[in-house]
Structure 1
Protein backbone atom coordinates (compact mmCIF):
# COMPACT_ATOMS: atom_id res chain seq x y z
CA UNK A 1 0.00 0.00 0.00
CA UNK A 2 1.42 3.37 -1.04
CA UNK A 3 1.95 5.86 1.78
CA UNK A 4 1.26 9.57 1.37
CA UNK A 5 4.22 11.93 1.86
CA UNK A 6 4.52 13.47 5.30
CA UNK A 7 3.83 17.02 4.06
CA UNK A 8 0.57 15.85 2.42
CA UNK A 9 -0.53 14.18 5.64
CA UNK A 10 0.30 17.34 7.56
CA UNK A 11 -1.69 19.45 5.10
CA UNK A 12 -4.70 17.14 5.32
CA UNK A 13 -4.53 17.17 9.11
CA UNK A 14 -4.31 20.97 9.15
CA UNK A 15 -7.26 21.31 6.77
CA UNK A 16 -9.37 18.92 8.81
CA UNK A 17 -8.44 20.74 11.99
CA UNK A 18 -9.41 24.16 10.69
CA UNK A 19 -12.33 23.29 8.40
CA UNK A 20 -15.60 24.79 9.57
CA UNK A 21 -19.29 24.26 8.98
CA UNK A 22 -22.04 26.78 8.36
CA UNK A 23 -25.57 25.78 9.37
CA UNK A 24 -28.48 27.15 7.34
CA UNK A 25 -31.99 26.85 8.79
CA UNK A 26 -34.21 28.11 5.97
CA UNK A 27 -37.68 27.59 4.47
CA UNK A 28 -36.08 25.29 1.89
CA UNK A 29 -34.78 23.05 4.68
CA UNK A 30 -31.76 22.77 6.96
CA UNK A 31 -28.35 22.31 5.39
CA UNK A 32 -24.72 22.22 6.45
CA UNK A 33 -22.05 23.73 4.21
CA UNK A 34 -18.41 23.04 5.01
CA UNK A 35 -15.48 25.23 4.07
CA UNK A 36 -14.34 23.08 1.15
CA UNK A 37 -17.80 22.93 -0.42
CA UNK A 38 -18.23 26.69 -0.18
CA UNK A 39 -14.79 27.43 -1.61
CA UNK A 40 -15.70 25.16 -4.55
CA UNK A 41 -19.23 26.57 -4.95
CA UNK A 42 -20.09 27.29 -8.60
CA UNK A 43 -20.61 31.00 -7.80
CA UNK A 44 -17.54 31.42 -5.57
CA UNK A 45 -15.23 34.15 -6.85
CA UNK A 46 -12.52 36.55 -5.69
CA UNK A 47 -13.84 39.92 -4.52
CA UNK A 48 -12.30 43.11 -3.18
CA UNK A 49 -13.87 45.03 -0.30
CA UNK A 50 -12.29 48.52 -0.34
CA UNK A 51 -13.39 49.56 3.16
CA UNK A 52 -13.77 46.40 5.21
CA UNK A 53 -15.60 47.02 8.50
CA UNK A 54 -13.79 44.39 10.59
CA UNK A 55 -10.27 45.01 9.30
CA UNK A 56 -10.66 48.73 8.58
CA UNK A 57 -8.76 48.50 5.31
CA UNK A 58 -9.10 47.01 1.86
CA UNK A 59 -9.43 43.22 1.90
CA UNK A 60 -9.61 40.46 -0.71
CA UNK A 61 -11.73 37.36 -0.21
CA UNK A 62 -13.03 34.30 -1.97
CA UNK A 63 -16.78 34.68 -1.51
CA UNK A 64 -20.17 33.43 -2.58
CA UNK A 65 -23.15 35.72 -3.22
CA UNK A 66 -25.23 35.08 -0.12
CA UNK A 67 -28.39 35.03 -2.23
CA UNK A 68 -27.19 31.80 -3.86
CA UNK A 69 -27.34 30.01 -0.48
CA UNK A 70 -30.74 31.24 0.70
CA UNK A 71 -33.01 28.48 -0.58
CA UNK A 72 -36.69 29.34 -0.28
CA UNK A 73 -36.10 32.76 1.31
CA UNK A 74 -38.36 35.58 0.09
CA UNK A 75 -37.68 39.35 0.21
CA UNK A 76 -40.22 39.83 3.00
CA UNK A 77 -38.57 37.25 5.26
CA UNK A 78 -36.31 37.96 8.22
CA UNK A 79 -32.92 36.38 8.83
CA UNK A 80 -30.65 36.09 11.82
CA UNK A 81 -26.89 35.52 11.48
CA UNK A 82 -25.28 34.12 14.63
CA UNK A 83 -21.55 34.33 15.39
CA UNK A 84 -19.41 32.08 17.56
CA UNK A 85 -19.29 34.66 20.36
CA UNK A 86 -23.10 35.09 20.60
CA UNK A 87 -23.40 38.16 18.36
CA UNK A 88 -26.76 37.77 16.59
CA UNK A 89 -27.37 40.15 13.67
CA UNK A 90 -30.99 40.67 12.63
CA UNK A 91 -31.45 41.49 8.93
CA UNK A 92 -34.32 41.83 6.52
CA UNK A 93 -33.96 39.34 3.69
CA UNK A 94 -34.50 41.82 0.86
CA UNK A 95 -31.00 43.39 0.82
CA UNK A 96 -29.39 39.97 1.31
CA UNK A 97 -31.15 38.68 -1.81
CA UNK A 98 -30.23 41.66 -4.00
CA UNK A 99 -28.15 40.83 -7.07
CA UNK A 100 -27.32 44.45 -7.90
CA UNK A 101 -26.55 47.63 -5.98
CA UNK A 102 -25.40 46.81 -2.46
CA UNK A 103 -24.59 43.09 -2.55
CA UNK A 104 -24.17 40.66 0.32
CA UNK A 105 -21.34 38.14 0.08
CA UNK A 106 -20.34 35.28 2.32
CA UNK A 107 -16.56 35.43 2.55
CA UNK A 108 -14.96 32.04 3.21
CA UNK A 109 -11.68 31.65 5.05
CA UNK A 110 -9.41 29.13 3.34
CA UNK A 111 -7.52 27.03 5.94
CA UNK A 112 -4.55 27.02 3.56
CA UNK A 113 -4.50 30.83 3.48
CA UNK A 114 -5.95 32.07 6.79
CA UNK A 115 -7.02 35.67 7.22
CA UNK A 116 -5.07 37.95 9.56
CA UNK A 117 -6.13 38.30 13.20
CA UNK A 118 -8.52 41.12 14.05
CA UNK A 119 -6.02 42.41 16.60
CA UNK A 120 -3.29 41.36 18.98
CA UNK A 121 -4.30 38.11 20.66
CA UNK A 122 -7.54 37.93 18.64
CA UNK A 123 -8.70 35.40 16.05
CA UNK A 124 -9.51 36.23 12.44
CA UNK A 125 -12.96 37.18 11.13
CA UNK A 126 -13.38 33.61 9.87
CA UNK A 127 -14.52 31.06 9.21
CA UNK A 128 -17.38 32.92 7.49
CA UNK A 129 -17.96 36.65 7.27
CA UNK A 130 -20.84 38.63 5.76
CA UNK A 131 -19.33 41.42 3.69
CA UNK A 132 -20.92 43.96 1.34
CA UNK A 133 -19.97 45.53 -1.94
CA UNK A 134 -21.28 49.10 -2.35
CA UNK A 135 -22.95 49.09 1.10
CA UNK A 136 -23.68 52.81 0.91
CA UNK A 137 -26.31 52.12 -1.77
CA UNK A 138 -28.59 50.45 0.80
CA UNK A 139 -27.58 52.23 4.04
CA UNK A 140 -25.86 49.10 5.35
CA UNK A 141 -24.51 49.74 8.86
CA UNK A 142 -21.48 48.28 10.62
CA UNK A 143 -23.63 45.90 12.68
CA UNK A 144 -24.76 44.28 9.44
CA UNK A 145 -21.27 42.89 8.81
CA UNK A 146 -21.23 39.92 11.24
CA UNK A 147 -18.03 37.89 11.25
CA UNK A 148 -17.19 34.45 12.68
CA UNK A 149 -20.66 33.41 11.49
CA UNK A 150 -21.72 29.84 12.29
CA UNK A 151 -25.50 29.86 11.70
CA UNK A 152 -27.96 31.60 9.38
CA UNK A 153 -31.63 31.08 10.17
CA UNK A 154 -34.97 32.35 8.89
CA UNK A 155 -37.15 33.57 11.76
CA UNK A 156 -40.21 35.69 12.45
CA UNK A 157 -39.59 39.42 12.67
CA UNK A 158 -38.18 40.80 15.93
CA UNK A 159 -41.47 42.41 17.04
CA UNK A 160 -43.26 39.06 16.69
CA UNK A 161 -40.62 37.04 18.51
CA UNK A 162 -40.01 39.53 21.31
CA UNK A 163 -43.08 41.59 22.28
CA UNK A 164 -41.18 42.87 25.33
CA UNK A 165 -39.04 44.96 22.96
CA UNK A 166 -41.91 46.78 21.29
CA UNK A 167 -42.89 50.33 22.21
CA UNK A 168 -46.48 51.26 23.04
CA UNK A 169 -48.77 51.39 20.01
CA UNK A 170 -49.39 55.10 20.61
CA UNK A 171 -45.68 55.94 21.01
CA UNK A 172 -44.40 58.97 19.13
CA UNK A 173 -43.05 58.45 15.60
CA UNK A 174 -39.52 59.17 16.85
CA UNK A 175 -39.83 56.28 19.32
CA UNK A 176 -41.06 53.92 16.60
CA UNK A 177 -38.17 55.02 14.38
CA UNK A 178 -35.81 54.48 17.32
CA UNK A 179 -37.06 50.91 17.66
CA UNK A 180 -35.93 50.31 14.07
CA UNK A 181 -32.51 51.80 14.91
CA UNK A 182 -32.29 49.59 18.01
CA UNK A 183 -32.92 46.49 15.90
CA UNK A 184 -30.33 47.53 13.34
CA UNK A 185 -27.56 48.76 15.64
CA UNK A 186 -28.03 47.34 19.14
CA UNK A 187 -29.90 44.04 19.13
CA UNK A 188 -26.98 42.08 17.70
CA UNK A 189 -25.13 42.53 21.02
CA UNK A 190 -27.76 43.50 23.60
CA UNK A 191 -31.02 42.30 25.04
CA UNK A 192 -33.73 44.54 26.45
CA UNK A 193 -36.26 43.44 29.06
CA UNK A 194 -34.50 40.08 28.86
CA UNK A 195 -35.69 39.74 25.26
CA UNK A 196 -33.40 38.98 22.34
CA UNK A 197 -31.06 36.24 21.22
CA UNK A 198 -27.70 38.01 21.70
CA UNK A 199 -25.32 36.64 24.31
CA UNK A 200 -22.72 39.39 23.95
CA UNK A 201 -23.56 42.61 25.81
CA UNK A 202 -25.64 43.62 28.85
CA UNK A 203 -29.39 44.12 28.95
CA UNK A 204 -30.31 47.73 28.17
CA UNK A 205 -33.37 47.99 30.42
CA UNK A 206 -32.77 45.67 33.36
CA UNK A 207 -32.06 46.50 36.03
CA UNK A 208 -31.56 50.05 34.75
CA UNK A 209 -31.92 51.73 31.39
CA UNK A 210 -28.90 53.85 30.32
CA UNK A 211 -31.19 56.91 30.08
CA UNK A 212 -31.63 56.54 33.85
CA UNK A 213 -27.95 56.88 34.75
CA UNK A 214 -26.38 58.90 31.94
CA UNK A 215 -26.92 62.61 32.59
CA UNK A 216 -27.49 65.33 29.99
CA UNK A 217 -25.91 64.43 26.64
CA UNK A 218 -23.49 61.83 28.01
CA UNK A 219 -25.41 58.88 26.57
CA UNK A 220 -25.15 60.32 23.08
CA UNK A 221 -21.43 60.93 23.63
CA UNK A 222 -20.99 57.37 24.90
CA UNK A 223 -22.68 55.88 21.82
CA UNK A 224 -20.49 58.01 19.56
CA UNK A 225 -17.24 57.09 21.36
CA UNK A 226 -17.47 54.71 24.34
CA UNK A 227 -13.79 55.05 25.24
CA UNK A 228 -14.16 58.83 25.60
CA UNK A 229 -16.24 58.28 28.77
CA UNK A 230 -15.04 54.91 30.00
CA UNK A 231 -11.38 54.23 29.27
CA UNK A 232 -11.49 50.45 29.28
CA UNK A 233 -8.98 48.47 27.17
CA UNK A 234 -11.23 45.40 27.24
CA UNK A 235 -14.30 47.34 26.10
CA UNK A 236 -15.80 45.83 22.95
CA UNK A 237 -18.53 48.32 22.08
CA UNK A 238 -17.71 50.17 18.85
CA UNK A 239 -18.37 53.85 18.43
CA UNK A 240 -21.07 54.89 15.96
CA UNK A 241 -19.96 57.70 13.69
CA UNK A 242 -22.38 60.12 12.04
CA UNK A 243 -21.91 58.17 8.83
CA UNK A 244 -23.16 55.01 10.56
CA UNK A 245 -25.83 56.71 12.71
CA UNK A 246 -26.92 60.26 11.93
CA UNK A 247 -27.69 62.76 14.69
CA UNK A 248 -31.40 62.34 13.94
CA UNK A 249 -31.17 58.55 14.12
CA UNK A 250 -29.18 58.75 17.35
CA UNK A 251 -31.87 60.99 18.85
CA UNK A 252 -34.53 58.49 17.78
CA UNK A 253 -32.61 55.62 19.35
CA UNK A 254 -32.32 57.49 22.65
CA UNK A 255 -36.02 58.37 22.47
CA UNK A 256 -36.80 54.65 22.18
CA UNK A 257 -34.54 53.76 25.12
CA UNK A 258 -36.09 56.51 27.25
CA UNK A 259 -39.59 55.27 26.35
CA UNK A 260 -38.67 51.67 27.23
CA UNK A 261 -37.40 52.75 30.66
CA UNK A 262 -41.08 53.10 31.50
CA UNK A 263 -41.98 49.70 30.05
CA UNK A 264 -39.82 47.33 32.06
CA UNK A 265 -40.83 43.69 31.92
CA UNK A 266 -39.46 40.99 34.18
CA UNK A 267 -37.55 43.37 36.43
CA UNK A 268 -37.76 40.84 39.26
CA UNK A 269 -36.11 38.06 37.24
Structure 2
Protein backbone atom coordinates (compact mmCIF):
# COMPACT_ATOMS: atom_id res chain seq x y z
CA UNK A 1 0.00 0.00 0.00
CA UNK A 2 1.45 3.41 -0.89
CA UNK A 3 2.17 5.86 1.91
CA UNK A 4 2.33 9.64 1.86
CA UNK A 5 4.78 12.12 3.37
CA UNK A 6 3.68 15.66 2.78
CA UNK A 7 2.74 15.85 -0.88
CA UNK A 8 4.90 12.91 -2.00
CA UNK A 9 3.71 9.33 -2.12
CA UNK A 10 6.21 6.73 -0.87
CA UNK A 11 6.15 3.47 -2.82
CA UNK A 12 7.12 0.07 -1.43
CA UNK A 13 10.55 0.57 -2.99
CA UNK A 14 10.99 3.86 -1.14
CA UNK A 15 10.19 2.20 2.13
CA UNK A 16 13.00 -0.28 1.66
CA UNK A 17 15.51 2.58 1.70
CA UNK A 18 13.76 5.08 4.04
CA UNK A 19 12.85 4.92 7.67
CA UNK A 20 10.06 7.05 9.04
CA UNK A 21 10.45 8.33 12.57
CA UNK A 22 7.37 9.64 14.32
CA UNK A 23 7.73 11.50 17.57
CA UNK A 24 5.38 13.51 19.76
CA UNK A 25 6.87 16.75 20.97
CA UNK A 26 5.26 18.56 23.90
CA UNK A 27 5.67 22.32 23.68
CA UNK A 28 3.87 24.55 26.17
CA UNK A 29 1.44 21.77 27.00
CA UNK A 30 0.46 21.28 23.34
CA UNK A 31 1.28 18.13 21.42
CA UNK A 32 2.69 18.55 17.94
CA UNK A 33 3.08 15.70 15.51
CA UNK A 34 6.44 15.58 13.80
CA UNK A 35 7.15 13.29 10.87
CA UNK A 36 10.71 12.96 9.62
CA UNK A 37 12.10 10.73 6.92
CA UNK A 38 15.77 9.77 6.81
CA UNK A 39 17.56 7.91 4.06
CA UNK A 40 20.22 5.34 4.68
CA UNK A 41 22.96 7.79 3.69
CA UNK A 42 25.74 5.91 1.90
CA UNK A 43 24.47 2.63 3.37
CA UNK A 44 24.95 0.80 0.10
CA UNK A 45 28.70 1.37 0.52
CA UNK A 46 28.85 0.56 4.24
CA UNK A 47 29.15 -3.05 5.32
CA UNK A 48 30.71 -5.11 8.09
CA UNK A 49 32.15 -8.56 7.46
CA UNK A 50 32.21 -11.35 10.04
CA UNK A 51 34.48 -14.41 9.88
CA UNK A 52 33.60 -17.15 12.36
CA UNK A 53 35.77 -19.86 13.88
CA UNK A 54 35.27 -22.11 10.83
CA UNK A 55 36.42 -19.39 8.46
CA UNK A 56 32.91 -18.89 7.11
CA UNK A 57 32.29 -15.27 6.24
CA UNK A 58 29.20 -13.15 5.94
CA UNK A 59 28.76 -9.44 5.32
CA UNK A 60 25.95 -7.21 6.55
CA UNK A 61 25.15 -3.81 5.15
CA UNK A 62 24.46 -0.89 7.42
CA UNK A 63 20.82 -1.04 6.36
CA UNK A 64 20.60 -4.69 7.44
CA UNK A 65 22.25 -4.00 10.78
CA UNK A 66 19.91 -1.07 11.45
CA UNK A 67 16.93 -3.29 10.78
CA UNK A 68 18.27 -6.03 13.07
CA UNK A 69 19.40 -3.84 16.01
CA UNK A 70 17.81 -0.91 17.79
CA UNK A 71 19.73 2.28 17.23
CA UNK A 72 20.13 5.09 19.69
CA UNK A 73 21.88 8.39 20.13
CA UNK A 74 24.75 8.13 22.61
CA UNK A 75 27.32 10.48 24.14
CA UNK A 76 30.92 9.39 24.66
CA UNK A 77 34.17 10.93 25.85
CA UNK A 78 35.98 10.44 22.57
CA UNK A 79 39.75 9.94 23.04
CA UNK A 80 40.54 10.82 19.43
CA UNK A 81 38.52 14.03 19.32
CA UNK A 82 39.50 14.84 22.89
CA UNK A 83 35.99 15.96 23.77
CA UNK A 84 32.44 14.82 24.31
CA UNK A 85 30.89 13.53 21.08
CA UNK A 86 27.45 12.29 20.12
CA UNK A 87 26.86 9.40 17.75
CA UNK A 88 24.01 7.36 16.34
CA UNK A 89 24.96 3.79 17.14
CA UNK A 90 23.91 0.16 17.45
CA UNK A 91 24.48 -2.05 20.49
CA UNK A 92 27.73 -3.95 19.91
CA UNK A 93 26.29 -7.06 21.54
CA UNK A 94 23.36 -7.04 19.12
CA UNK A 95 25.71 -6.59 16.16
CA UNK A 96 27.82 -9.54 17.35
CA UNK A 97 24.70 -11.65 17.87
CA UNK A 98 23.68 -10.91 14.29
CA UNK A 99 27.10 -11.39 12.73
CA UNK A 100 27.91 -14.62 14.56
CA UNK A 101 24.39 -16.04 14.67
CA UNK A 102 25.59 -19.33 13.21
CA UNK A 103 28.22 -19.86 15.92
CA UNK A 104 26.48 -18.93 19.17
CA UNK A 105 26.08 -15.18 18.68
CA UNK A 106 28.19 -12.80 20.71
CA UNK A 107 28.16 -15.02 23.79
CA UNK A 108 29.55 -17.88 21.74
CA UNK A 109 32.71 -15.84 21.10
CA UNK A 110 33.34 -14.89 24.74
CA UNK A 111 36.37 -17.16 25.23
CA UNK A 112 37.77 -16.75 21.73
CA UNK A 113 40.36 -14.41 20.30
CA UNK A 114 39.10 -11.93 17.73
CA UNK A 115 40.66 -9.45 15.34
CA UNK A 116 39.10 -6.07 14.60
CA UNK A 117 40.27 -5.07 11.13
CA UNK A 118 40.03 -1.54 9.74
CA UNK A 119 40.22 -0.49 6.10
CA UNK A 120 43.46 1.43 6.73
CA UNK A 121 45.33 -1.69 7.92
CA UNK A 122 44.79 -1.24 11.65
CA UNK A 123 44.26 -4.68 13.25
CA UNK A 124 43.31 -4.84 16.93
CA UNK A 125 43.43 -8.21 18.73
CA UNK A 126 40.77 -8.55 21.46
CA UNK A 127 38.93 -11.29 23.29
CA UNK A 128 35.26 -11.94 22.78
CA UNK A 129 34.77 -11.10 26.44
CA UNK A 130 36.27 -7.65 25.85
CA UNK A 131 33.62 -6.87 23.25
CA UNK A 132 30.78 -8.15 25.42
CA UNK A 133 31.38 -5.57 28.15
CA UNK A 134 28.43 -3.29 28.80
CA UNK A 135 28.93 0.05 27.08
CA UNK A 136 30.11 -1.05 23.63
CA UNK A 137 28.44 0.49 20.58
CA UNK A 138 28.98 0.47 16.84
CA UNK A 139 28.64 4.09 15.72
CA UNK A 140 27.69 4.78 12.12
CA UNK A 141 27.03 8.52 12.12
CA UNK A 142 26.87 11.76 14.04
CA UNK A 143 23.25 12.85 14.60
CA UNK A 144 23.51 16.20 12.83
CA UNK A 145 25.02 14.52 9.76
CA UNK A 146 22.07 12.21 9.22
CA UNK A 147 20.39 14.74 6.97
CA UNK A 148 17.93 13.72 4.30
CA UNK A 149 19.50 13.83 0.88
CA UNK A 150 22.98 14.60 2.19
CA UNK A 151 25.89 12.84 0.52
CA UNK A 152 28.48 14.21 2.92
CA UNK A 153 30.41 11.99 5.33
CA UNK A 154 28.47 10.69 8.29
CA UNK A 155 31.37 11.57 10.60
CA UNK A 156 33.69 14.44 11.42
CA UNK A 157 37.27 13.64 10.43
CA UNK A 158 39.28 12.11 13.22
CA UNK A 159 42.77 11.71 14.67
CA UNK A 160 45.94 13.56 13.71
CA UNK A 161 45.66 12.14 10.19
CA UNK A 162 42.17 13.66 9.82
CA UNK A 163 40.58 10.57 8.31
CA UNK A 164 36.93 9.67 7.87
CA UNK A 165 35.92 7.04 10.52
CA UNK A 166 33.39 5.46 8.13
CA UNK A 167 31.97 2.94 7.72
CA UNK A 168 31.91 2.05 11.44
CA UNK A 169 33.50 3.35 14.62
CA UNK A 170 33.54 1.19 17.76
CA UNK A 171 32.97 3.42 20.80
CA UNK A 172 32.37 3.00 24.54
CA UNK A 173 30.06 4.94 26.85
CA UNK A 174 31.48 3.95 30.25
CA UNK A 175 33.43 6.46 32.30
CA UNK A 176 36.31 3.98 32.63
CA UNK A 177 36.26 2.89 28.99
CA UNK A 178 37.83 5.90 27.31
CA UNK A 179 41.42 4.65 27.15
CA UNK A 180 42.17 3.11 23.71
CA UNK A 181 44.97 1.07 25.29
CA UNK A 182 42.49 -0.71 27.55
CA UNK A 183 39.42 -0.74 25.27
CA UNK A 184 39.42 -1.06 21.50
CA UNK A 185 38.27 2.12 19.71
CA UNK A 186 38.87 1.21 16.05
CA UNK A 187 37.45 3.47 13.38
CA UNK A 188 37.09 2.56 9.68
CA UNK A 189 36.06 -0.87 11.00
CA UNK A 190 35.27 -3.31 8.18
CA UNK A 191 35.75 -6.82 9.62
CA UNK A 192 35.43 -8.77 12.87
CA UNK A 193 37.25 -12.07 12.65
CA UNK A 194 37.43 -14.98 15.09
CA UNK A 195 41.11 -15.98 15.15
CA UNK A 196 43.67 -16.43 17.94
CA UNK A 197 46.54 -14.01 17.33
CA UNK A 198 49.14 -16.78 17.02
CA UNK A 199 46.98 -18.54 14.45
CA UNK A 200 46.35 -15.43 12.38
CA UNK A 201 49.98 -14.27 12.55
CA UNK A 202 52.20 -17.33 13.08
CA UNK A 203 55.38 -15.55 11.95
CA UNK A 204 55.18 -13.22 14.95
CA UNK A 205 55.69 -16.13 17.36
CA UNK A 206 59.20 -16.41 18.89
CA UNK A 207 59.32 -20.14 18.18
CA UNK A 208 62.01 -22.08 20.00
CA UNK A 209 62.48 -19.42 22.66
CA UNK A 210 63.07 -20.98 26.06
CA UNK A 211 60.05 -21.28 28.31
CA UNK A 212 60.18 -18.55 30.93
CA UNK A 213 62.24 -16.21 28.71
CA UNK A 214 61.09 -12.60 29.10
CA UNK A 215 60.60 -12.46 25.34
CA UNK A 216 57.34 -14.38 25.80
CA UNK A 217 56.05 -11.66 28.10
CA UNK A 218 57.17 -9.15 25.49
CA UNK A 219 55.26 -11.07 22.85
CA UNK A 220 52.07 -10.76 24.89
CA UNK A 221 52.72 -7.02 25.27
CA UNK A 222 53.41 -6.69 21.55
CA UNK A 223 50.00 -8.21 20.81
CA UNK A 224 48.22 -5.82 23.15
CA UNK A 225 50.21 -2.60 22.67
CA UNK A 226 51.90 -2.75 19.26
CA UNK A 227 50.36 -5.22 16.81
CA UNK A 228 47.34 -3.03 16.00
CA UNK A 229 49.63 -0.81 13.93
CA UNK A 230 52.93 -2.67 13.55
CA UNK A 231 53.90 -5.98 12.00
CA UNK A 232 56.64 -8.51 12.62
CA UNK A 233 57.83 -10.45 9.58
CA UNK A 234 55.05 -8.86 7.58
CA UNK A 235 52.25 -10.00 9.89
CA UNK A 236 50.12 -7.73 12.06
CA UNK A 237 48.94 -4.15 11.60
CA UNK A 238 49.86 -2.12 8.52
CA UNK A 239 49.65 1.45 9.84
CA UNK A 240 53.23 1.69 11.09
CA UNK A 241 56.46 0.11 9.84
CA UNK A 242 57.42 -3.52 10.24
CA UNK A 243 59.60 -3.84 13.34
CA UNK A 244 61.65 -6.84 12.22
CA UNK A 245 62.31 -6.86 8.48
CA UNK A 246 64.32 -6.03 6.57
CA UNK A 247 66.11 -4.86 9.72
CA UNK A 248 64.94 -5.19 13.29
CA UNK A 249 64.32 -2.02 15.23
CA UNK A 250 66.97 -3.16 17.72
CA UNK A 251 69.51 -3.28 14.88
CA UNK A 252 69.27 0.34 13.83
CA UNK A 253 68.12 2.23 16.92
CA UNK A 254 69.86 2.44 20.29
CA UNK A 255 67.91 0.62 23.00
CA UNK A 256 67.51 3.75 25.21
CA UNK A 257 66.02 5.60 22.23
CA UNK A 258 63.57 2.77 21.55
CA UNK A 259 62.41 2.77 25.16
CA UNK A 260 61.94 6.53 25.18
CA UNK A 261 60.10 6.50 21.87
CA UNK A 262 57.67 3.78 22.93
CA UNK A 263 56.91 5.62 26.15
CA UNK A 264 56.41 9.07 24.57
CA UNK A 265 56.85 9.22 20.77
CA UNK A 266 55.86 12.88 20.41
CA UNK A 267 58.79 13.89 22.58
CA UNK A 268 60.89 12.88 19.56
CA UNK A 269 58.65 13.72 16.58
CA UNK A 270 55.05 14.50 15.72
CA UNK A 271 53.36 11.22 14.91
CA UNK A 272 50.08 9.34 15.08
CA UNK A 273 51.68 6.71 17.30
CA UNK A 274 50.11 6.91 20.76
CA UNK A 275 52.10 7.29 23.95
CA UNK A 276 52.35 4.32 26.32
CA UNK A 277 52.75 5.83 29.79
CA UNK A 278 51.15 2.72 31.27
CA UNK A 279 54.14 0.51 30.34
CA UNK A 280 56.53 -0.11 33.23
CA UNK A 281 60.30 -0.40 32.95
CA UNK A 282 59.87 -4.16 33.22
CA UNK A 283 57.36 -4.07 30.37
CA UNK A 284 59.84 -2.20 28.19
CA UNK A 285 62.55 -4.72 29.10
CA UNK A 286 60.23 -7.51 27.97
CA UNK A 287 59.38 -5.78 24.67
CA UNK A 288 63.08 -5.27 23.91
CA UNK A 289 63.68 -8.95 24.72
CA UNK A 290 60.95 -9.91 22.24
CA UNK A 291 62.30 -7.64 19.50
CA UNK A 292 65.79 -9.03 20.09
CA UNK A 293 64.52 -12.61 19.91
CA UNK A 294 62.64 -11.93 16.68
CA UNK A 295 65.71 -10.29 15.13
CA UNK A 296 67.12 -13.84 15.10
CA UNK A 297 63.90 -15.18 13.54
CA UNK A 298 63.46 -13.08 10.42
CA UNK A 299 61.07 -14.22 7.73
CA UNK A 300 60.80 -11.43 5.19
CA UNK A 301 57.58 -11.63 3.14
CA UNK A 302 59.37 -10.08 0.17
CA UNK A 303 61.91 -12.87 0.23
CA UNK A 304 59.02 -15.34 0.38
CA UNK A 305 57.44 -13.64 -2.61
CA UNK A 306 54.33 -12.70 -0.59
CA UNK A 307 54.41 -9.11 -1.78
* TM-score category of the 2 structures, normalised to the smaller one: 0.7 to 0.9
Is it true that 1:108 corresponds to 2:140 in the alignment? yes
- In the TM superposition, what is the alpha-carbon distance from 1:129 to its structure 2 partner? 0.9
Q: For 1:119 and 1:77, how far apart are their aligned partners in 2?
A: 30
Q: What TM-score does the superposition give when structure 2 sets the normalisation length?
A: 0.69
> Take 1:138 and 1:59, find their aligned partners in 2: how far apart are those partners?
12
Structure 2: how far apart are the matches of 1:45 and 1:13? Answer: 16
Which one has a bigger Cα radius of gyration?
A: 2
Q: CA RMSD in A?
A: 3.5
* 1:162 pairs with 2:201: yes
Match of 2:286 among 245, 252, 260: 252
CA 1:139–1:238 in structure 2 vs 1: closer, same or farther (change >3 Å)? closer
CA pair 18-117 structure 1, distance change in 2 beyond 3 A: farther
TM-score by length of structure 1 reads 0.78
Distance (Å, rounded) in 2 between the aligned partners of 1:67 and 1:14: 22
CA distances 1:111-160 after superposition (whole Å, capped 9, x unpaired): 526322126883332221112233747986168211011111222x1212
Gap change, CA 1:252 and 1:120, over 3 Å in 2? closer
Q: 1 or 2, which has the higher strand percentage?
A: 2
Partner of 1:33: 60
Q: Which has the higher contact order (CA 8 A, sep 6+)?
A: 1
Are the counterparts in 1 of residues 90 and 139 from structure 2 also a CA contact under 8 Å? yes
Kept in 2, the 8 Å contact 1:54–1:118? The answer is yes
Greater shift after overlay, 201-210 or 116-125? 116-125
The match for 1:74 is: 109
- 3-state SS of paired residue (1:45): strand
- In the alignment, structure 2 segments of 5+ residues that lack a partner are 15-36, 148-153
- Number of matched residues? 255
What is the alpha-carbon distance in structure 2 between the residues aligned to residue 189 and residue 121 of structure 1?
14
Deviates more, 1:85-94 or 1:161-170: 161-170
The answer to whether the Cα contact below 8 Å between 2:69 and 2:94 also exists between their aligned partners in 1 is no
